[in-house]
Structure 1
Amino acid sequence: MGSVELVPLASATVTAYTIAAVLLGVLTRRNLASLRYRRPSEADRPLPSSTRWVPPVSALAAALVSWCAMPNQWRSLLVATPLLAAGPWLAAVDIDVRRLPDRVLLPVAGFTLVAIVALAAIDPPVLLRALGCGFAGFAIYFALHLVSGGSIGFGDVKLAGVVGLVAGFHGLATVWWSFLAGPLLCVAWAVLTRRGLRDRVAFGPWLVAGLLVALVLT
């Protein structure tokens, strides 16, 4: 198949992937509206802010990553898909209750690892790099969790491990940009919204956003 024939195929894949992301975003928003993710102790919290951003953000993320991946880097799209699919839900929940539920985060980690192991059969060193970066992300954020007295939650620690897995599969440049962009975006948002040093900020969304930036840049 020549390069000319690949262009329509890549465009069709990006279009289908983006449409699927929009539909998933709509379903995600409906799920969030039910507030079923809240624990009994969180039932009296104020209603969360609008989640209208979920479908368009899902679509934008899917379009950008799939456009950058197709047609030659389709394997990277498979590895990134679990976190791209669940990322908006995790971000919205973290913003609301400052928590990243294991019932979603752990399956995302599992599916990501399975995809990496399956694809690494073609290039075994990729598996070692992804596992090493995943462990490094987990370890660094676990240290931050301890030093910060819990301001960096343990959910953030686990999410950093997943981000490290995905970024590590793509390469060290992606790992660098991912873990650099996330904190920078978080700090920029805190400054723009005039958050104080003692305000507890949901960091999960910025970890995912940092990975998205890194996937597009690299």
Structure 2
Amino acid sequence: MAQQTLTVIGADDPLGEAVVREALVRGLRVRATAPLPRRVPRLSPELEVLRAESGSQEDLEPAVRGADGVVLALTPQLVHDATMLATDAAIAAVRAMRAVGAQRLVGVSSTELSDSSRLWGPLRRRLHHGGLQDLRRLERLLAGSGLDWTVLRAGRTTDLLGTREQVVGSALEQGDRTLPREDLARALVDQALAEGREPRILTVTA
């Protein structure tokens, strides 16, 4: 069986670094992108680090060409002020993948988009308005991309050791408030190497 290639966009992000480590442990060939490649630890000969801005289609095309799966591994920014970080990265990734014929794309969003609690849900949506709007745009962009896509909604990531028992389920489920970063990384790699299926927006819990 041919060795699979995974592209990780944002390998200088703590989540991106965790996804790179998880993919390498599984024996995958990894292409990682970062604006400053020297900031990405060279963990294996199977790791290729390419200089790329996450919001640049031109930069991302060489990284996604021929990839079996692409992970948009940017930690969701839950901020009040307006931001376009996730939106710009999603646009660039989708355009780059369309240009080179890559198909499988997995992104990360937040369980706060589906928080149904009467008190804390509205409060968090006000506090994190700018970041949540950005993540809604990411989800809509992927839904209209024509690619084979999946979005994993997760709680706030932590540095705690992973449980190795992460569960991926319906986005309507109430997710945990926090999630070890390693568990989210494992779920992202799992999804990136599998064909997407309905529903496309899922929740990760541990």
Per the shorter chain, which TM-score range? 0.3 to 0.5
TM-score by length of 2: 0.35
Structure with bigger strand share is 2
**Larger fraction in helix:** 1
User: What TM-score do the two structures reach when normalised by structure 1?
Assistant: 0.34
